[in-house]
A = this chain, B = another copy of it.
Amino acid sequence: MNGAESLARTLLASGVDVAFTNPGTSEMHFVAALDRVAEMRCVLALFEGVVTGAADGYGRMRGKPACTLLHLAPGLGNGLANLHNASRARAPIVNIVGDHATYHKRYDAPLNADIEGIARAYSKWLKTSQSAAEVAADGAEAVAAARTAPGRIATLILPADTAWNDGSGIAAPVPVPPPAAVADAAVAGAAALLRNGKITALVLEGAALRRAGLTVAGRIAAATGATLLTPYSVGRIERGAGLVAVERIPYPVDQALERLKSIAQFILVGAKAPVAFFAYPGKPSVVTPVDAAIHVLAEPEEDVSGALEALADAVAAGRAEPVLQRLERPSAPRGAVSLPGIAATIAALLPENVIVVDESITSGRGLLPATRGAPPHDWLANPGGSIGMAMPVAVGAAVACPERKVLCLEGDGSGMYTLQSLWTMAREGLNVTTVVFANRNYAILKHELMQVGAGNPGRRALDMLEIGRPDLDWVGLARGMGVPAVRADTLEVLGRLVAAGLAGSGPSLVELVL
């Protein structure tokens, strides 16, 4: 068994049974090994941003890593933007990056580069295997690192000769350290804040946004009157009817300041302290009140669920009844396309158990309030802010949960970064319905240009913000990659097409012209 096969079988033994790949010559022995490791599902993408984004989506939904297979520094480079988002979503991922043979590196052949240097920014664990005998053990370590709470990116660089030389068999899984329990003082401190009569918010992220965590948080809120908040964008939240609802901190700085100004105390539960997404001249970076108390109940890597339980006990919330979201949603509107109309249309049809991947940005600002009372579902947003996330993450979510449907809400500007995702959806027959909101603008940037005080844009600046001239034809692009697609220009057509897509099997795309 060569090193490549020992690595593939070790990954499998450690629970990694999906590989998102875009291989090259240096990875050919790993590819050949896949012929002999039939339990590993391999999903090809035509661009590495799709590979890493899919691994992100898979990790968010399964809570365990898939592996990627990337070709040297350029392949890793193409995958960085979605690794950025994955690192912020705290998704577990094992990257396998092929490299030149160990003895070939010193000749600085054309594809040679500093892979470790490029990988470091987003890898919590990083190693270059030095021999075929150790790749299996390295692989087992990488998986354990990726599975360490709350989910990490581990990158294993695989020189070609460590793949083709004789390996040392399959390495046993490395135990994953459990998340550290929070200190008693952290719980006691939070409990004291909740009892002192001041207005208090819990800021929830990670495990606190899953059904179980939300229920405990809901009990605490019921017992103490605390408000439940989330950062603007989170990797995954379970929401809808029957779940405890939480409120999203607004994206615009002024709105965030306004919303938070009356809150005296913030308890962080797997979340970081709220700050502005960007800096703006004359506006603060921190959106909590200057004199607010910020208390960390649990760091993201700590036992967030256990901390919530302990806090519930400390404030005697054990028997409090959490307020659960009622089933309530708008009726489907008709007629001309409007942003509120889009939100109502989606909210009216959202089926139970759907996975929504949301990168609709300006077109989707009203979606979360509108869908609050829809049947229970998962919502995956972009906590890293690097656009081009939704379609790749939808690929990964669909591979992770083949029994569920995925609704991918994508801006046209964002979608263009990783449109190759559509081909993988077609090849794998993934149950993803994609809506592209075609406003033919980087609309968020027009807003931001004003926010940063850069003045009224002239024609030359606008040309950098408008992506019309020529207009993109998303129907043609999708069909060109094998995904059935139709254009919608009224709300009823949008609703009908999306409902049909979610009811059917395989991928489809709706271009909604705004």
Contacts and interface: CB of A to CB of B under 8 A. Distances in A.
Given A25-B452, A452-B164, A74 B278 contact: no
A489 interface: no
Interface string A359-388: 000000000000000000000000111101
B80 A84 contact: no
Contact residues on A (Cβ < 8 Å of other chain), bracket? 35 or more
A461 interface: yes
Nearest to A35: B458
B80 A454 contact: no
Interface stretch (A101-109, A193-201, A304-312): A101-109
Interface stretch (A117-125, A147-155, A338-346): A117-125
Interface string A439-469: 0000011001101111101111101110101
B448 A46 contact: no
A117 B109 contact: no
A485 B103 CA distance: 46
A448 B386 CA distance: 34
A160 B279 contact: yes
A25 to B, nearest CB: 4
Nearest to A32: B454
Contacts of A120: 114, 117
A463 B42 contact: yes
A226 to B, nearest CB: 24
Interface stretch (A215-223, A315-323, A326-334, A416-424): A416-424
Contact of A118 (B118, B275, B471, B475): B118
Contacts of A481: 470, 472-473, 477
Interface in A471-504: 471-477, 479-482
A254 to B, nearest CB: 15
Interface in A16-33: 21, 23-26, 28-29, 31-32
B281 A28 contact: no
A419 B24 CA distance: 19
A88 interface: yes
Nearest to A160: B279
A279 B104 contact: yes
Nearest to A84: B74
A162 B85 CA distance: 26
Contact of A453 (B75, B85, B164, B460): B164
Nearest to A449: B28
Contacts of A78: 49, 77-78, 80-81, 388, 417
Given A31-B457, A88-B110, A114-B120, 11 more contacts: A25-B444, A72-B386, A74-B84, A75-B81, A77-B80, A84-B113, A104-B279, A109-B285, A117-B117, A164-B453, A423-B467
22 contacts: A23-B464, A24-B445, A25-B277, A26-B278, A49-B78, A73-B121, A74-B84, A74-B386, A77-B83, A100-B279, A104-B276, A109-B275, A109-B276, A109-B277, A110-B384, A111-B386, A114-B120, A160-B278, A164-B452, A164-B454, A472-B481, A476-B480
7 closest A-B pairs by beta carbon, nearest first, are: A77-B80, A470-B482, A476-B480, A74-B386, A32-B454, A101-B279, A74-B81
Interface of A: 21, 23-26, 28-29, 31-32, 34-35, 38, 42, 44, 46-47, 49, 72-75, 77-81, 83-85, 88, 100-101, 103-104, 107-111, 113-114, 117-118, 120-122, 160-161, 164, 233, 272, 275-279, 281, 285-286, 383-386, 388, 413, 416-417, 419-420, 423, 426-427, 444-445, 448-449, 451-455, 457-461, 463-465, 467, 469-477, 479-482
